[in-house]
Structure formats: C-alpha cells, structure tokens
Amino acid sequence: MNSTTYKAGKLLLIEKKHQQYKPPGYIPEEFKRLLLPQAEISFRQDNDCAILTQTINAGPFTLWMHDIFTREDIVLLPWTPRHVLIINYMFEDSLRAESRQSDTFPLEERECNLLNLHAGIHKVPMSGDKKILSVHINIDPALMPSLMQKYPVLAALNTSFLSAISGPVNKGPHHINLFSDFLIQKLISCRYTGTRAHYFIQRCCTDLMLTFAQQETDVDHPILFTNVLHMDTFHQLFNYLIDNAGKIYSVSELAYSFYLSPDQLSHGFRQHFSITVEDCMYMLRMMTAYNLLHKKYLSLSDVAYTSGFTSVSEMIMHLERYYNCKIDEMRT
C-alpha cells in the first residue's frame, strides 16, 4: 500500500505541547458509548472518514485513543509538535506507517511497538471500509532516565541512544498478550473522574510499560513448546485470578489446581504474560482494593477484608505505595 495512490490526507494529532480542554462539537449517538468522562475529546467526520480522539493526562504519561472509521481510501497524517516516545497498541485491523525518511514499518493488529517519533508529520495510508482502534501511551524522552531509575526493567527499552530517524525502537513487534489486553480494557472503559481517574490510569500505564519492557527483555528467549501446549491452561489460570482477585494463593496451590508443576506454572505464566504470577496477583489485589474504595456502602475494614489484607493500615500502606498517592486522593 502506497500513500501516493491515496488522495485524501487527514491530519491526526498524536501529541500536544500543552493540554487544553475544548468541549467537542456534535458527536453522533453511536460514538457516545465510547466516550470516557476524564478525556479531552476531539471528533470530526466527512464523506471520507470519522475520527474520534480521546486524550488523558496521567503523570509522566499521556494516554491517547483513536477510533477511526473510513469510507474511502485516505492517508492519515499523524502529527507531533515535539519529539516523543509512543507505546502503540493496534486493534481491529493493521496499517503500514511511512516515515519521513521513506522507510515503512507495519502496525499489525493485536501487536504493540515502541515508536521514536520526531516532530513533524508522518504518513499512514488507510483503505476504505476499515475500522481501527489505536491506543498509545506517550512519554517525554527526557523523563526516561528517572523512570528507569525507579523501574530498572525499563533499561531494556534502550532509549538512551535514540535514532534521529523516526520508527520503532524495539527489536521486533510484541503480541498484545492477555495481561496487556486486560489493562487496556480497564483504560478504555474507565468511568472515574478527577484524581480517582488520574492515579488509576497512571498506574495502568505504568504496568503496561513495565510489561512491554519485560517483553523486550525476553525477546531472545522463545516461548517453550510445553508452555505453548498449555496455553489454554494459562489463560484459564489468568481468568481464575481475575475472578478471585481478593484471595492469596501460593504457586504450589495454583499448580496443584491446574495440574502443572510449580516451576512450569511460574515459568509459563511469565512467558505468556510477561509478568510473574506473584506480581500479577498483587496487581489484581491492588486494583480490587482501589475499585472498592469508591463503593460508598463499604467501610475501609470491608475493603481491606475483601482485598485480602489483615488490617486497614496494611491496606493503606500498600495502596499508597502502589498508586503513588495518599488514600484521601484516591477517594476524592
């Protein structure tokens, strides 16, 4: 697919120097179900396409979501006013981007990439009668040293020696695994507003970035055949942990329940989801507690008990450390 054969160019903002909310104009009913209360919203449509863009600031990250529907062949013109790092997640279809240096790189459905994009306009041809959802997390490259100091696994992203050419930084595209998909679904369905939304979305973006970095760390270690054979088992295990997020299990207990050895469960879980089973259980407990905090009919004692904590003080200590804010800010 070559952009020179597509005549209609559509500017697509993928970064801003300053976030400033402007109320959107008319939005058709079929798009309103996609809107997030916390997002800055931009919508436009013409005879060629309809584009809904939502943006949310979250600490060092900016979350962007583009729902794009085409009727005719177009060329998307993603524009950034400054140098930015973007972790991009593609859903529903695939595209091929063109850099200003005339190189092309694929953006495949259900794959993610870390893109190093310099200021300017880029090109992405998109044929008619297509629908895509592009979710991306933007990071200012100047913030990467402090993030790497806090989360050493981010060193795997190799952002210290960024090219002068726009394009992917990672060694190869990564599959959007079940864990990453779970976090993205939490983001694109978040109904929180204010500080509740800010800290929840910031933590989800952090976990997505850490997962991507772990995928990059493990890129030279192909998934074991035995772990592939047990893919359905690991997916069932992940869904089981979601359904029982307030409970604490040992690896041995889970292994016994799912007919795996403890070593096989630990290794396979990390290969499939790029997170340890212990860290996954902890994240689910934190998310459960955070969500329950906003149920007015539950006391802090109820939330602590349901989330698997022995006391309110223990729960508050863990929540404040995990979400990097005070308990009162979570409940505002």
Write down the pLDDT at residue 277. Answer: 98
Do residue 132 and residue 239 come from a single domain? no
Do residue 21 and residue 147 come from a single domain? yes
- Measured distance CA(20)–CA(126) in Å, rounded: 29
Alpha-carbon separation of residue 272 from 66, 151, 300 (angstroms): 27, 21, 35
Assign residue 277 the CATH number of its domain.
1.10.10.60
34 burial via Cβ count (<10 Å: 0-12, 13-18, 19+): middle
Whether 3 shows a pLDDT value over 60: the answer reads no
Residue 32 within a domain: yes
Strand spans (E) along 118-193: 120-121, 124-126, 131-139, 167-168, 174-175
Residue 183 within a domain: no
Do residue 18 and residue 138 come from a single domain? yes
Write down the pLDDT at residue 81. Answer: 95
Do residue 92 and residue 32 come from a single domain? yes
Residue 196 within a domain: no
Write down the pLDDT at residue 17. Answer: 77
Write down the pLDDT at residue 186. Answer: 98
In single-letter form, the type of residue at position 201 comes to I
- Measured distance CA(144)–CA(140) in Å, rounded: 7
Do residue 14 and residue 82 come from a single domain? yes
Do residue 122 and residue 254 come from a single domain? no
User: Which is more confidently placed, 141 or 163?
Assistant: 141
Residue 216 within a domain: no
Write down the pLDDT at residue 101. Answer: 60
The arithmetic mean of pLDDT across residues 302-323, rounded, is: 96
Roughly what angle, to the nearest 10 degrees, separates helices 277-292 and 262-273? Answer: 70
Write down the pLDDT at residue 214. Answer: 97
Assign residue 21 the CATH number of its domain.
2.60.120.10
Residue 203 within a domain: no
Residue 247 within a domain: yes
Write down the pLDDT at residue 163. Answer: 80
Q: Which domain holds residue 231?
A: 222-331
Lowest mean pLDDT among 6-10, 119-123, 275-279, 284-288: 6-10
Do 53 and 66 contact (CB within 8 A), yes or no?
A: yes
Whether 80 shows a pLDDT value over 80: the answer reads yes
Q: Which helix (H) or strand (E) holds 229?
A: helix 225-229
- Measured distance CA(96)–CA(90) in Å, rounded: 11
Do residue 120 and residue 229 come from a single domain? no
- Of the candidates 28, 195, 170, 1, which has an alpha carbon nearest to the alpha carbon of residue 87? 170
Domain boundary among 176, 210, 241: 176
Residue 146 within a domain: yes
Report helix, strand or coil for 134.
strand
Q: What's the chain's average pLDDT? A: 93
- Measured distance CA(282)–CA(207) in Å, rounded: 12
Whether 45 shows a pLDDT value over 80: the answer reads yes
Q: What is the pLDDT of residues 85-141, one digit of tens each?
A: 999 999 999 999 986 665 788 999 999 999 999 999 999 999 999 999 999 999 999
Write down the pLDDT at residue 331. Answer: 81
Residue 118 within a domain: yes
Write down the pLDDT at residue 2. Answer: 54
Give the number of residues written for the chain: 332
- Measured distance CA(52)–CA(56) in Å, rounded: 14
Do residue 238 and residue 172 come from a single domain? no
**What percentage of the chain carries pLDDT values higher than 70?**
95
Written as six digits, the tokens of 96 are 């091929």
Whether 1 shows a pLDDT value over 60: the answer reads no
Residue 92 CB coordination number (10 Å): 13
Do residue 172 and residue 234 come from a single domain? no
Domain total of the chain: 2
Q: What is the pLDDT of residues 227-283, one digit of tens each?
A: 889 999 999 999 999 999 989 999 999 999 999 999 999 999 999 999 999 999 999
Write down the pLDDT at residue 199. Answer: 97
Quickly state the pLDDT bin for 162 (edges 50, 70, 90).
confident
Write down the pLDDT at residue 212. Answer: 98
Write down the pLDDT at residue 192. Answer: 96
Do 108 and 94 contact (CB within 8 A), yes or no?
A: yes
Q: What is the pLDDT of residues 185-201, one digit of tens each?
A: 999 999 999 999 999 99
Write down the pLDDT at residue 21. Answer: 55
Do residue 228 and residue 131 come from a single domain? no
The arithmetic mean of pLDDT across residues 66-71, rounded, is: 97
Do residue 29 and residue 151 come from a single domain? yes
Do residue 231 and residue 115 come from a single domain? no
- Measured distance CA(293)–CA(170) in Å, rounded: 38
Written as six digits, the tokens of 267 are 């290794």
Write down the pLDDT at residue 5. Answer: 57
